[in-house]
Structure 1
C-alpha cells in the first residue's frame, strides 16, 4: 500500500481521496483551509505548507495555483512521485491551452522539480467518474503518462486497488495529448454535449 498526499480538497481531490482510501492506502489531504481538507474521517487533514507525508503526491489543483504550491514545497518533492491532474486551459477564452504546443503542464512541473518522478494522470477524468468508478457501464479508466516505470507502477496500483483501471499511456511526452483530450472533454461538458458524469472510456 502507498502513502498518498493530495494537495487540494476540491471535487477532484475529494474524489481521488475516496479512491485511495478504498484501496487501503494512507491518505493526507492538504488545502488552504484545514476544515475543507477533512474530506473523510480517515484522512489526515492539514493546510498547504504543512509537511508532506506521502510518497505519492497528487496535485489536485487548478493550473494557475501550481506555481505557488510548487514554490511552497521547493526541495520537498525530491524523491517523490508527483501526479499532475491539471488541464492548462485558457479560461478567458476557453478556446486554447496556455502551454506551448510542443510541451505540457506536466513537462513544466518536471522542469521545476527535477528530483521528483512526475506523472500525468487523472486530467481526462471528471470527479464523478472517479467517485462512482464508472463511465457509463465501463470501469473508469485512468491514463498515466510518465518516464519512470516504477513510479507508474506504484501509482497504477493505487488506481487499480481503488477499483478503477489504470492504463500506461506512454512517456511524459504523451502528457500533451492527454491535456488535449482533457481539454476536449471539458469543452464538450461545458457545451452540454456530455454530462459532468460522462467521459471517455477504453473498452478492450
Structure 2
C-alpha cells in the first residue's frame, strides 16, 4: 500500500480520503485551516494532519483544490515535492463554465508540472469523476494522462494506476500529459451535460468495451 497526502479539504478530498483509507493506505490531509484539517481527519479515524508548506509525508500527493491556487501551492512546496508523484485532479474551468483558463495548447496539469521540481512527476487523474459519485463507493472508470518517457515518469503513471485500482476503480490511460488538455475539456463537457442535457450531475463517464 502507499502513503497518500491530500492537499485540500473539499468534497473530492473527502471522497478520496475515505476510499484510500478503505484501501489500506496511510492518508495525510493538509489544509490551510488547521482546525478544519483536524476536524476532517477526525471524521475518518485514521488520517493524520500535515502542515501546509512542510514536506508532505505521502509518496503520492493529491492536489484536491481549485485550479486557481494549485500552481501557487506547488511552487510554495518547491523542493519538498522532489521524488513525489503528484496527482492533479483539478479542472481549470472558466467563470462562464464553457471553457478553460489555461494557455492555448496547454493544460492545467502541464502548468502545474512547470511549477513542480524536476524530481516530481505529475499525472492527471480524477478530473472526470464528480466527487459525490466517487463517494458512493461504486466501481468507476478514471481517465489518466501522464508522460512515460523521461526517467521515473512511467513508474509514476504505474503508481497512480495501482493506486486507482486499490480504490476499486479502473484506470484508463489516455496517453502523455499533453492529453490532460482534452481531459480538462471533457470536464467542461460533463459540467455542460449536468446543467443541460442530463439535467443532473448524478452520472459518470466510462468506457464499455463489451461487444
Q: TM-score, normalised by structure 1?
A: 0.91
Secondary structure of the residue that 2:135 maps to in structure 1? helix
Runs of 4+ displaced beyond 3 Å: none
In structure 2, distance between residues paired with 1:194 and 1:45: 38
| Mapped contact 2:130–2:204 kept (Cα < 8 A) | yes
Please state how far the C-alpha of 1:47 moved relative to its aligned partner: 4.3
In structure 2, distance between residues paired with 1:68 and 1:173: 21
Matched, 1:89 2:93: yes
* Correspondence for 1:124: 128
Please state how far the C-alpha of 1:6 moved relative to its aligned partner: 0.4
Secondary structure of the residue that 2:145 maps to in structure 1? strand
* Correspondence for 1:172: 177
* Correspondence for 2:32: 32
- Structure with greater strand share of residues: 1
Secondary structure of the residue that 2:70 maps to in structure 1? helix
In structure 2, distance between residues paired with 1:175 and 1:129: 21
* Correspondence for 2:150: none
Moved more, 30-39 or 80-89: 30-39
In structure 1, distance between residues paired with 2:108 and 2:179: 11
In structure 2, distance between residues paired with 1:170 and 1:99: 19
| Mapped contact 2:54–2:77 kept (Cα < 8 A) | no
**What count of residue pairs does the alignment treat as equivalent?**
199
- Structure with greater helix share of residues: 2
Q: State which of 103, 106, 110 in structure 2 corresponds to 1:103.
A: 106
Matched, 1:73 2:77: yes
In structure 1, distance between residues paired with 2:154 and 2:134: 23
In structure 2, distance between residues paired with 1:180 and 1:10: 22
Structure 2, gaps ≥5 residues long: 148-152
* Correspondence for 2:162: 157
In structure 2, distance between residues paired with 1:185 and 1:109: 22
Give the aligned CA root-mean-square deviation in angstroms: 1.6
| Mapped contact 2:7–2:61 kept (Cα < 8 A) | yes
| Mapped contact 1:106–1:172 kept (Cα < 8 A) | yes
Secondary structure of the residue that 1:173 maps to in structure 2? helix
CA offsets 1:132-170 (integer angstroms, 9 cap, x no match) = 233xxxx31111110122111111111111111111121
| Mapped contact 2:97–2:191 kept (Cα < 8 A) | no
Structure 1, gaps ≥5 residues long: none
